């Protein structure tokens, strides 16, 4: 019986090494597959009889050792839409199950997860990886920027035109010289937009009345009702910051009291564009602070920035992804709008996920429920845009394991042939 037991044990050894060889083959074949997670092999000993005086050969079995939580190397991609996760977590993706009457894809309700982030924009406006999975995310209100985190769905980008935005706010950051020279150019010009996206010019001009006292004139030369002009007096303190705004004339109004440390120093000009009065507020900073317009030493007017919040209409030029998970639509007028947010999905035990085709996984009872989080939140990894995660398989390790499996397989085969020879010898003795 001990010889037969030895043969049975060796046969289980052949089966176990075959299983290990299968996992090694899978790993080696996918060593260049983006987002692939390798599979190792656990060997388990099963006993028949084992005591202080007797031990009979048992058998060996194997179970797969999933390495879903082992990081693969992150490499830069030529694809600007590619995403990688540095740390724990997965992308939520959907699989296509058909098309609708318009030819757009319809999706399997089963939720899948993957680390394969080589996403590109397909002809239907979806972000799809090389395995055919569609990236899921949250929609974002393009006006408010509010993320709708109640529903994960395939991200779809439509090539819409950017709607024009009428200018309502200007902000000026500059220094008027304490001792201006006779040749100082104290004027600034900025392009503003009406509700149709038509551009107009608005000019700000400074003239010094006396030490620390200036007149700021705002004008809009292409107002439909004629050039719109107005002015205010701006007084600076000994420390070079605005102390008060007063004496508004023309089509300019002072906002608030125009005095008081910590209050906003701002004025409003109201030109008429496209038949509609359009109030435009110019923010000069904070009274008593140097965060806007100042009067420091110098002889020349220094303009640091003059920004406005309007925009001309724009045509869609493409999308981009960021390290924060934002998916942004870009337009040729220089504007961009965040249209979706990509979360990172984590599990209590990612190694217990069920493998699926295309480097994808589905959740199981053992893995725990999927938890959608922002990147770098509660154990979720960081997102890396313009990059992909390579397979976590190490070829050198697999080649070493291959040699070990081959030698172990041969050794088990040798045990079987030797046991067979010993059985033949036993039978010959009996004859």
Residue-level pLDDT at 54? 85
The answer to whether the beta carbons of residues 283 and 190 sit under 8 Å apart is no
Residue-level pLDDT at 430? 63
Cβ neighbours of residue 80 closer than 8 Å, sequence gap 6 or more = 320, 321, 385, 386
On the question of pLDDT at 431 being above 80, the answer is no
The two structure tokens encoding residue 105: 């894809």
Average pLDDT, the chain: 92
The two structure tokens encoding residue 232: 């205010």
SS3 28: helix
The answer to whether the beta carbons of residues 3 and 426 sit under 8 Å apart is yes
pLDDT digits (tens, 9 = 90+) for 72-105: 999 999 999 999 999 999 999 999 999 888 888 9
Q: How many CB atoms lie within 10 A of CB 269?
A: 25
pTM of the full structure = 0.77
Q: What percent of the chain has pLDDT over 90?
A: 76
Q: Mean of the pLDDT values across residues 156-176?
A: 89
Cβ neighbours of residue 329 closer than 8 Å, sequence gap 6 or more = 157, 160, 316, 318, 319, 336, 337, 339
Q: What percent of the chain has pLDDT over 70?
A: 99
Confidence tier at 129 by pLDDT (50, 70, 90): very high
Residue-level pLDDT at 228? 86
Q: Mean of the pLDDT values across residues 357-373?
A: 96
pLDDT digits (tens, 9 = 90+) for 204-228: 999 999 999 999 999 998 887 778 8
Confidence tier at 174 by pLDDT (50, 70, 90): very high
Q: Mean of the pLDDT values across residues 150-178?
A: 90
CATH number of 169-308: 2.60.98.20
Which residue, among 147, 184, 146, 427, has the nearest Cα to 303 in the 3D structure? Answer: 184
Confidence tier at 422 by pLDDT (50, 70, 90): confident
What is the β-pairing status of strands 360-362 and 112-114?
antiparallel
On the question of pLDDT at 8 being above 70, the answer is yes
Residue-level pLDDT at 348? 96
- The torsion of the CA quartet 60, 21, 391, 120, rounded to 10 degrees, works out to -110
Residue-level pLDDT at 419? 85
On the question of pLDDT at 1 being above 60, the answer is no
Listing DSSP states for 233-299 in one string gives EEEE-TTSBEEEEEEEEETEEE-TTSBSTTSEEEEEE--EETTEE--EEEEEEETTSSSSEE--S-S
Residue-level pLDDT at 170? 96
Which helix (H) or strand (E) segment holds residue 61: the answer is strand 59-66
The answer to whether the beta carbons of residues 242 and 293 sit under 8 Å apart is yes
On the question of pLDDT at 168 being above 90, the answer is yes
Q: For the chain, give every domain's residue range.
A: 2-67+392-430, 74-162+315-389, 169-308
pLDDT digits (tens, 9 = 90+) for 29-72: 999 999 999 999 999 999 888 889 888 888 999 999 999 999 99
Rg of the chain over Cα atoms, rounded to whole angstroms, equals 36
């Amino acid at each position: 019986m001990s010889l037969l037991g030895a043969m049975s044990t060796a046969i289980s050894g052949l089966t176990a090494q075959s299983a290990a060889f299968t996992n090694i083959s899978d790993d080696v074949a996918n060593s260049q597959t983006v987002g692939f997670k390798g599979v190792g092999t656990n060997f388990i000993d099963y006993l028949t009889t084992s005591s202080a005086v007797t031990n009979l050969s048992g058998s060996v079995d194997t179970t797969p050792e999933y390495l879903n939580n082992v990081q693969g190397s992150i490499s830069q991609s030529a694809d600007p839409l590619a995403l990688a996760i540095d740390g724990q977590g997965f992308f939520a993706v959907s699989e296509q199950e058909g098309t609708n009457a318009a030819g757009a894809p319809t999706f399997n309700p089963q939720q899948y997860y993957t680390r394969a982030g080589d996403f590109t924009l397909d002809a239907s406006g979806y972000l799809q990886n090389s395995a055919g999975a569609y990236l899921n995310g949250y929609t974002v209100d393009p006006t408010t920027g509010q993320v709708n985190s109640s529903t994960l769905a395939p991200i779809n980008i439509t090539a819409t035109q950017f709607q024009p935005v009428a200018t309502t706010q200007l902000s000026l950051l500059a220094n008027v010289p304490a001792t201006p020279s006779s040749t100082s150019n104290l004027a600034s010009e900025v392009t503003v937009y009406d509700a149709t996206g038509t551009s107009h010019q608005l000019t700000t001009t400074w003239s010094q009345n006396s030490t620390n006292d200036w007149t700021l004139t705002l004008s809009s030369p292409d107002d439909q009702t004629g050039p719109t002009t107005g002015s205010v007096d701006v007084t600076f303190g000994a420390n070079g910051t605005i102390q008060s705004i007063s004496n508004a004339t023309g089509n300019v109004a002072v906002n608030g009291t125009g005095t008081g440390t910590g209050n906003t120093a701002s004025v409003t000009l109201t030109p008429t564009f496209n038949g509609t009065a359009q109030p435009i507020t110019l923010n000069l900073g904070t009274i008593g602070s140097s965060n806007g317009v100042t009067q420091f030493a110098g002889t020349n007017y220094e303009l640091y920035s003059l920004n406005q919040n309007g925009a001309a209409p724009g045509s869609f030029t493409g999308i981009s992804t960021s390290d924060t998970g934002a998916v942004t639509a870009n337009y040729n007028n220089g504007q961009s709008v965040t249209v979706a947010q990509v979360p990172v999905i984590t599990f209590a035990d990612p190694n217990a996920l069920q493998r699926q085709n295309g480097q994808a996984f589905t959740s199981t009872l053992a893995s725990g429920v999927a938890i959608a989080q922002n990147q770098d939140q509660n154990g979720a990894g960081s997102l890396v845009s313009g990059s992909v995660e390579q397979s976590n398989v190490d070829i050198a390790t697999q080649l070493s394991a291959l040699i070990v499996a081959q030698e172990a397989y041969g050794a088990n085969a040798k045990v079987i042939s030797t046991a067979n020879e010993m059985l033949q010898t036993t039978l010959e003795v009996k004859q």
